[in-house]
A and B are shown apart, each in its own frame.
Chain A
Amino acid sequence: MLAYAIRRLGQSLLVLLAMSFLVFIGVYAIGNPVELLINPQADAVERARATAALGLDKPILEQYATFLARAAHGDLGRSFVYNVPAIQLILDKLPATLELAVVAMAAAIAIGIPLGLIAGLRPHSFIGRAIMAGSILGFSLPTFWVGLVLIMVFSVHLGWLPSNGRGETVLLLGVPVSFLTADGLAHLAMPALNLALYKLSLLIRLTRAGTREAVLQDYVKFARAKGLGPGRVVGVHVLKNILIPIVTVIGLELGSVIAFAIITETIFAWPGSGKLLIDSINQLDRPVIVAYLVVIVTIFIVINFAVDLMYSLLDPRVRLGGAEAGD
């Protein structure tokens, strides 16, 4: 187990290193930020001084080496635009994104799994078909367009919900959160629903597919033949066996929710890290782009690792140590 964790950590560091290199080289190939930052009337001397001040006059590999050395100390560079450490900028914005992602995921789980079970147990009934049709719709709806329609209906037409910002926040363990104030909840409702919709449909389909295959299995027939009530058959025998892929997907999708929050944050002007990324891309704020990706990739690595651990707890057949022996 420990050996597995260590090997896994090594692999993750390798991925992180490779990713940071690719992104660093890639991002440094786009545009010259000096053009955007200094006065257009500045002369060549001034320009050269600004370039040197940002360390942009050195060969790119040397710049990368400097970046790595500083990154090892937790310094991912200073934002060109805001002139504060990039990592601080991101950590300031990250709680808003995480709050949005967690609330969206929780909503998707609470609604998606029960609906998926119903649809899987009665695939040919009216309600089963209706749930599936709904999930196809939810699956197909372009996230950003749903956001626009929500704003159109609830903000412009009905005037019930605010269309941008986080609203009033309170400190929870030193972190500002929106979901504990009425105003914050009103601001949170639409973005969270918007973000949850796709995952909700995914969970419905996954639960339904698993349930449909599970109820045909002998152990379910046997449990029924034993005279167990439908509640126990579904709640224990079916659910336990279909939970493995569902937990995996929930874990992996948590990462993707954070990524998709980029779109939702842009639409609802939610002051999170995704909006920061888009703004930084538009302003060529390279250090922030690189730092965002380093942070997000780290989050993904942690999530994937947690999912693998959970997997081995849920399914005793999975032995983590043997993962390398062959696929």
Chain B
Amino acid sequence: MNTIHEAAPAPVDAQSAEPPVESPWRRLWGEFAESRLALLGLGLLVVIVLVALAAPLVSPQNPYDLAQLDVMDSKLPPGEVSPEGKRYWLGTDDQGRDMLSGIFYGLRISLGVGVASTVLALATGLVLGLAAAYFGGWVDAVIMRIADIQLSFPAILIALVLLAVLGQGVDKVVIALVTVQWAYYARTVRSSALVERQKEYIEAAQVLALPRRRIVFRHLLPNCLPPLIVVATIQVAHAINLEAALSFLGLGLPITEPSLGLLISNGFQYLLSGKYWISFYPGVALLTTIVAINLVADQLRDILNPRLKR
């Protein structure tokens, strides 16, 4: 890690005109780019997000427009050409739906659910964690005890029971994911806020008689962010994985919102008859997404962890 680096060509928004050595963004990017695996992950992630955003533009067909489906083309293996001369690169499912298009649209839903639930859980956990750290006393005790109890049970179990009660639907899956995730953020924020609160700059701000709100949000919060960024990145991957598992069990999204997990579940019944592609390729897409996010998160954790600095 101590090797001297040529300043990596950084396409980062280094909006400052300061000397590049000083810019923290550039330094972080330089450290991030030390791992080629992490760069690969970032590259993959950018492609995946772009594909998900542009799914209607890049998909060969709209997989949920029934007029575009041909039942005669059902369960074609990958690369097969239909009688009308359409080629299905990843084959078709039982409805004659092009798997490639299905995967592109599925990515949209999986990523959307993952990001939405992470953002909401982050916001909830941030507020509760900061409140616990700042107010202390019984506020702290109540919030953290609930978080403790909740974290002592596996996320999948809590989400499963919640969804069994709430029923299917995008909003319900997001509620379940936020419920199982907020505690991670609350804990992370609280512990770093407690450490930061003891430091001189907070004391200085208090001596300056700055308003409480300003101290919490402008001084305390920004300094608690690095560990939160790491947790949030990992949790996006977790959320996507969890949603897929729940949908696979038939408890997550309804059939009208086919995420990758639902596509895999749909193909399961054809697996034993050798028609592997219906569930295999959506799984590859899911795996690639999660690996990409984890590669990025892993490197972020290493460069943001002060204990590994020698």
Contact = CB atoms under 8 A, between A and B. Distances in A.
Partners in one complex: yes
A247 B92 CA distance: 47
A267 B271 CA distance: 11
Contact of A151 (B248, B264, B271, B307): B271
Given A152-B280, A212-B308, A27 B164 contact: yes
Interface in B241-272: 241, 244-245, 248-251, 261, 264, 268, 271-272
B241 A142 contact: yes
Interface string B160-178: 1110110100000000000
Contacts of A67: none
B164 A300 contact: no
A133 B283 contact: no
Contact of A145 (B157, B165, B286): B286
B290 A140 contact: yes
From DSSP, what is the main secondary structure of chain B's interface residues?
helix
Given A26-B161, A30-B167, A133-B37, A216 B153 contact: no
Contacts of A163: 272
A149 B161 contact: no
A96 interface: no
Contacts of B272: 151, 155-156, 163
B291 interface: yes
B298 interface: yes
Contacts of B248: 144, 263
Contacts of A62: none
A204 to B, nearest CB: 12
Interface string B188-213: 00000000000000000000000000
B37 A260 contact: no
Give the residue among A23, A29, A142 with the most B Cβ atoms within 10 A: A142
Contact of B268 (A30, A148, A296): A148
A256 interface: yes
B294 interface: yes
Contact of B165 (A29, A142, A152): A29
A148 B279 contact: yes
A128 interface: no
Contacts, number: 110
B165 A26 contact: yes
B156 interface: yes
Contact of A260 (B156, B290, B295): B156
Contact of B274 (A140, A156, A255): A156
A256 B283 contact: no
A177 B152 CA distance: 29
B164 to A, nearest CB: 5
Contacts of B89: none
Nearest to B153: A300
Given A140-B291, A212-B308, A262 B276 contact: no
A262 B249 contact: yes
Given A26-B165, A256-B154, A142 B245 contact: yes
Contacts of A142: 241, 244-245, 261, 264, 283, 286-287, 290
Contact of A281 (B251, B268, B274, B283): B251
Contacts of A144: 244-245, 248, 261, 264
A259 B272 CA distance: 26
Interface residues of B, number: 43
A263 B152 contact: no
Contacts of A213: 307-308
Interface string B138-164: 000000100001001110110011101
A304 B244 CA distance: 28
A200 interface: no
- Counting chain A residues whose Cβ lies within 8 A of the other chain, the interface size class is 35 or more
A300 to B, nearest CB: 6
A297 interface: yes
A143 interface: yes
A225 B26 CA distance: 39
Interface string B37-57: 100000000000000000000
Nearest to B144: A327
B291 A136 contact: yes
A188 interface: no
B271 A156 contact: yes
Nearest to A31: B167
Given A140-B291, A152-B271, A15 B149 contact: yes
Nearest to A129: B37
B239 interface: no
A9 interface: no
B310 interface: yes
B237 interface: yes
16 contacts: A15-B149, A26-B165, A27-B164, A140-B237, A140-B293, A144-B261, A145-B264, A152-B271, A152-B276, A252-B152, A255-B154, A259-B156, A262-B157, A281-B164, A300-B152, A300-B153
Given A151-B271, A151-B272, 9 more contacts: A30-B164, A142-B286, A144-B248, A156-B274, A213-B308, A289-B164, A293-B161, A296-B157, A297-B153
Interface of B: 37, 144, 149, 152-154, 156-157, 160-162, 164-165, 167, 237, 241, 244-245, 248-251, 261, 264, 268, 271-272, 274, 276, 279-280, 283, 286-287, 290-291, 293-295, 298, 307-308, 310
Shortest 6 CB-CB distances between A and B: which pairs? Answer: A145-B283, A26-B165, A259-B154, A256-B154, A140-B290, A140-B291
